[in-house]
Chains A and B, each alone.
Chain A
Amino acid sequence: MDAFSLGLDHVLTLSALVAIVIGTIMGVAVGVLPGLGSVIGITMVLPFTFSMEQVPALALMLGIYCGSVYGGSISAIVINTPGTPQAAATALDGYPMAQRGEADLAIGWATVASVTGGLFSVGVLIIAAPQLAAFSLNFTSIEYFALGVFALICIANVSRGAMSKGLLAGAIGLFLATIGVDHVTGDMRFTFGSFEMTAGISLIPAIVGLFALSEVFIRASESTRVKAVIAHNVGFRLPPFSDWVPRLWLLLKSCVLGSFIGTLPGTGAATASFIAYSEAKRSAPNRDKLGTGEPDGIVAAESANNAVTGSAMVPTLALGIPGDPVTAVMLGTFIVHGLAPGPRLFTEHLDLVYAVFLILVVVNLVMFVVGALGAQIFTRALKVPEPLLMTMVVVIAIVGAYGVRGNPLDLVTAFLAGLGGFALRKAGFPLAPLVIGMVLSEMIENSLRQGLLLTRGSFLAFFERPIALTLFILTAFLLVWPAIRWLRGRKREARNDIPDV
Chain B
Amino acid sequence: MNIIKTVLAGLVGTMAIGAPALAQDFPAKPVTIIVPFSAGGGTDITTRTLAGPMAKALGGEIVVKNTAGAGGTIGAAETARARADGYTVGMMPVGPMTTQPHLRELPYDPDSFDYVCQAYSAPSSLVVRQDSPFQSLDDMLTYAKENPGELNYGVQAVGSIPHVAGLGLASASGAEFTFIPYKGSAPTFKAMLDGSIDMFVAHISFLTQNSDQVRSIAMLTSDRVSTAEDLPTAAEQGVPMNFPIWGGIVAPKGIPAEAKAALEAACEAGMNSDAFKARMAELRMPIAFMGGDDFEAFVKSEFDKNDKLLTEAGLKK
Interface of A toward B, CB cutoff 8 Å: 39, 42-43, 46-47, 50, 137-141, 180-181, 183-188, 195-196, 198-200, 202, 265-266, 315, 319-323, 325-326, 328-329, 332, 335-336, 338, 340-344, 405-407, 442, 446, 450, 453-454, 456
**A-side contacts of B152, CB under 8 Å:** 453-454
B157 at the interface (CB under 8 A from A): yes
Which residue of chain B has its CB nearest to the CB of A40? B39
Q: Complex Cα distance A196/B194, Å? A: 36
B18 at the interface (CB under 8 A from A): no
Tell me whether A406 and B66 are in contact in the complex, defined as CB-CB below 8 angstroms, given that A50-B49, A265-B186 are known contacts. yes
**B-side contacts of A184, CB under 8 Å:** 158, 181
Q: A329 → chain B, closest Cβ, in Å?
A: 4
The answer to whether B65 and A342 have CB atoms under 8 Å apart is: no
For window 149-188 of chain B, which residues contact chain A by CB distance below 8 Å? 152, 157-159, 178, 180-183, 186-187
The answer to whether B69 and A407 have CB atoms under 8 Å apart is: yes
Cβ-neighbour of B209 out of A47, A185, A315, A320 (below 8 A): A320
**B-side contacts of A340, CB under 8 Å:** 208-212
Which residue of chain B has its CB nearest to the CB of A266? B187
Cβ-neighbour of B45 out of A138, A265, A332, A405 (below 8 A): A332
- Can you list 23 A-B contacts with CB-CB less than 8 angstroms, sorted by A residue number? A39-B40, A43-B40, A183-B181, A183-B182, A186-B103, A186-B104, A186-B158, A195-B105, A199-B70, A199-B74, A265-B186, A266-B190, A320-B213, A328-B40, A328-B41, A335-B205, A338-B282, A341-B210, A342-B210, A343-B212, A405-B74, A442-B183, A450-B180
For window 297-317 of chain B, which residues contact chain A by CB distance below 8 Å? 315
The answer to whether A140 and B186 have CB atoms under 8 Å apart is: no
Which residue of chain A has its CB nearest to the CB of B37? A405
Which residue of chain B has its CB nearest to the CB of A42? B40
Most buried by A among B181, B190, B196, B279: B190
Most buried by A among B52, B69, B104, B210: B69
Task: Knowing that A185-B181, A320-B210, A406-B66 touch, tell me 14 more A-B residue pairs with CB under 8 angstroms.
Answer: A39-B38, A42-B39, A137-B194, A140-B196, A186-B315, A200-B70, A202-B69, A320-B209, A321-B193, A340-B209, A407-B74, A446-B182, A446-B183, A450-B182
Q: What are the nearest 6 A-B pairs in CB distance? A: A199-B69, A186-B158, A43-B39, A329-B40, A198-B70, A405-B68
**B-side contacts of A332, CB under 8 Å:** 40, 45
The answer to whether B69 and A200 have CB atoms under 8 Å apart is: yes
Residue interface mask B185-223, A partner, CB < 8 A = 1:
011011101111000000001001111110000000000
Which residue of chain B has its CB nearest to the CB of A183? B183
Tell me whether A343 and B40 are in contact in the complex, defined as CB-CB below 8 angstroms, given that A199-B70, A322-B186 are known contacts. no
B107 at the interface (CB under 8 A from A): yes
Q: Complex Cα distance A339/B209, Å? A: 8
Q: Complex Cα distance A187/B152, Å? A: 21
Which residue of chain B has its CB nearest to the CB of A329? B40
Tell me whether A453 and B158 are in contact in the complex, defined as CB-CB below 8 angstroms, given that A186-B315, A321-B186, A338-B282 are known contacts. no
Q: B180 → chain A, closest Cβ, in Å?
A: 5
The answer to whether B77 and A195 have CB atoms under 8 Å apart is: yes
Tell me whether A341 and B191 are in contact in the complex, defined as CB-CB below 8 angstroms, given that A195-B106, A454-B180 are known contacts. no
